[in-house]
Amino acid sequence: MLRKQNREKIVDLGLSHLEQISDDSTDIEDGYENEQLAKKVNDTLLKLSKRHQNIISFYRSGTFKQKDIASVYQISPTLVNFMIKEVIHSCQAELDVL
């Protein structure tokens, strides 16, 4: 019984390595597509005002909540939310055109 359990552990270890094998070509293609998408989004962000760029930058980094961003810029949290939605809409519109 003990030998059987040991063999099963060995077999399980062998199978876990097979799950980690992936097709490198799809990873490269996905990486390239993600890189191109990020470039398009960044190009769109550069077209926006500096204020919009900073607000979305703070928001995307995750270090500031909308309420915190509002207090830094001394505006209402509702306006921050509106500006973030504007940026998202601009990016979506730019990507739909391309």
Successive 10-residue mean pLDDT values, the chain, 98 residues = 52 46 66 88 88 90 91 94 93 80
Residue type, 78: T
Q: What is the pLDDT of residue 84?
A: 94
Q: What is the pLDDT of residue 96?
A: 82
Q: What is the pLDDT of residue 11?
A: 47
pTM for the full predicted model: 0.62
Q: What is the pLDDT of residue 34?
A: 87
Distance of alpha carbon 16 from alpha carbon 36, whole angstroms: 33
**For the chain, how many residues are written?**
98
Sign for the pseudo-dihedral over CA of 83, 89, 93, 96: positive
